[in-house]
Homo-oligomer: A and B are copies of this chain.
Amino acid sequence: MKLLIVEDDQFHAGFMLETVSKNLPEVSEITCVADGMKGVEEAESGLYPAVVLDLQMPGRNGVEAARAIWSAHPDTRILFWSNYADEAYLRGITNIVPETSAYGYVLKTTQASRLGLALRAVLIEGQIIVDREINGFHQRAMTTHTALSESEFNVLVDVALGLTDKLIADRRAMSLRSVQNRLLSLYQKLGVDDEGGAFNKRTRAINRAMSGRMLNIETLIAAERELLPWLEQHS
């Protein structure tokens, strides 16, 4: 069984290599590349049933790379690992994972034994595993009425990209008032309404979302790459 590791930090790559060779004897061959583009190119060959993917990478981030890989080979099993428990990543992943496949999401701070378990469970057994830290985070958000719905999250991304209400309405195919309604609920859920009238709600919401790790720069940069073509064609 062949395994592909995509990881730009050499020390982390080394550690992963070591952990894999200790825990997964059924892996016969390991390829290691250092950025998302190369990872996608390499995976296009279709030779890799299993991939380990870092989420923070220059060029193309982990979620984008995964989408490319899965669109060519939907059965690929992918283990994501990341420095941060960002809700934005989990949201991005759950949106693109095919029905037929398996994935996992573990933090780089988890100890080697748990990483070994996750590697086996996801890449060999085909299960779905999300680290407690990330999932708890997500669950807590889901229960306390602060979970962002799909449309709310979309509007949040567009606002953070710097779009105007009207342009968001065009892009997401809704009316101006609807966009503003989504914004109202965003302000509630992000706690901007409870902070007194001192703030500019729009920018404060972006700040809260980023501080609360529901949004990150990588996600925004990726979203911008999708926005630009639409913008040109639209004007």
Contact = CB atoms under 8 A, between A and B. Distances in A.
A163 B201 CA distance: 9
Given A11-B11, A11-B12, A12-B11, A164 B199 contact: yes
B206 A164 contact: no
Contacts of A159: 200, 203
Interface in A156-198: 159-165, 167, 192, 196, 198
Interface in A219-235: 220-221, 224, 231, 235
B167 A203 contact: no
Contacts of A91: none
A15 B14 CA distance: 12
Contacts of A204: 161-162
Contacts of A205: 162
Nearest to A56: B83
DSSP majority for the A interface?
helix
A61 to B, nearest CB: 13
A200 B200 contact: no
A151 to B, nearest CB: 19
Given A11-B11, A11-B12, A15-B11, A235 B196 contact: yes
In the A-B complex, the 3 residue pairs with the smallest Cβ-Cβ separation, listed nearest first, are A162-B204, A11-B11, A162-B203
19 contacts: A11-B11, A11-B14, A11-B15, A159-B200, A161-B203, A161-B204, A162-B192, A162-B199, A162-B201, A162-B205, A162-B206, A163-B203, A196-B235, A198-B231, A202-B202, A206-B206, A207-B220, A207-B224, A210-B220
